[in-house]
Chain A
Amino acid sequence: MLHVLQWLEATYASMMDSSWAASLHLSVWLFALTEAAHLVALAVVGCAVLIVDLRILGWGLTRQPVAQVAREVRPWLIGSLAGMAATGFVMFASYAASKYYIHEAFRTKMWLLAAALVVTFTVRQWIVTGDDTRARHPLAKLVAVVSVLLWTSVALMGRAGLGYDLY
């Protein structure tokens, strides 16, 4: 695993070392703008996750069935998660082996992300594809709360992964 990451990091570094990339200060700008794009995608994830979890909890678009709300935002959920993965991968490649791989906050983030994805696409998916009787169950509301907390902690660990000691 570590070898793959070292290769990834070396490949990224060699791309950034090419003269045209260096002349544009590409590595610095690419990282900063990728990070900013990651944040923009975060807002879309927030949109697609929160509107459904709020609906399960009985807030927001309460006059529409849960299934309709979830179905409408599904392309935005998938698209924003793909955007997060793509921008996240670029940042990961830039630091892969030497920083993120050994970084406790990054590892925690990945486990939380895995948990958030599992919850979202298994039990929460089951809730939001049924009729509203599923969503009215107290356990469904618990799932919505867990979903919000998990996605929030993924974001918090992302910020922690930047290093609280950088400032």
Chain B
Amino acid sequence: MILHICQWIEATTSSQALAGSIWTYPVIESLHTIGVAAFLGLLLVWDLRLLGALFTRVPVTEVWARLIPWITVGAVFMIATGVALFWAKPVYSWGHIFFRIKIAALALALANAAAFHVGIERRVVDWDLAPTPPPAARVAGVISIALWAVIVVAGRLIGYNWFPQLV
């Protein structure tokens, strides 16, 4: 099923143009890499605040409110460039073990963010000013940082074709 979708994408003119481009593909790849610094960098500020490791005297909700517009723009940018990279090599990507690891880690990162949102964040007024947030918030921060590290490492390894293709 997924393989068929990937094969369909690969047959499109846009996919073939992207994969065969001399400059467009590497430029998108570079932009995706720059996005790591911008998007993940600011997400890291947030995660470190949750850990009580950075900006401990700034209210948690204030860090969130001031950073979320940038993080949102960065996320849209990362998704757009990421989808374009996938669009150029869908079958290769789907067959790559580290692509699947990356997608799984992304899903877990989203689940972690959702769990935080419906869990400890509901009582944020109680710990908004706390230099060190409660354990549940710190756990969410640690899990987020760990998963994003996996996502970055796996993302880089997709670029290497040493691994046996799964499809």
What band does the interface of chain B fall in when counting residues whose beta carbon is under 8 Å from A? 20 to 34
Q: Are B23 and A164 in contact (CB under 8 A)?
A: yes
Contact of A167 among B25, B30, B36, B156 (CB under 8 A): B25
Q: Are B66 and A32 in contact (CB under 8 A)?
A: no
Which secondary structure characterizes the binding site on chain B?
helix
Within residues 22 to 51 of chain B, which ones have a CB less than 8 A from any CB in chain A? 22-23, 25-26, 29-30, 33-34, 36-38, 40-42, 44-45, 48
Q: Are B23 and A47 in contact (CB under 8 A)?
A: no
Q: Are B54 and A61 in contact (CB under 8 A)?
A: no
A64 vs B67: C-alpha distance when bound (angstroms): 13
- Mark A76-103 against chain B: 1 for CB-CB distance below 8 A, else 0: 1000000000000000000000000000
A–B complex contacts, Cβ < 8 Å, 25 sampled: A32-B160, A37-B153, A39-B152, A39-B155, A42-B33, A45-B37, A45-B41, A46-B37, A46-B41, A46-B44, A47-B41, A51-B41, A59-B70, A60-B66, A61-B55, A61-B58, A61-B62, A63-B62, A152-B34, A156-B34, A159-B26, A159-B30, A160-B30, A164-B22, A164-B23
Could you tell me which B residues sit within 8 Å of A by CB distance? 22-23, 25-26, 29-30, 33-34, 36-38, 40-42, 44-45, 48, 54-55, 58, 62-63, 66-67, 70, 148-149, 152-153, 155-157, 160, 162
The 10 closest A-B pairs by CB, nearest first: A46-B37, A46-B41, A47-B41, A43-B40, A36-B153, A36-B156, A47-B44, A164-B26, A159-B30, A39-B152
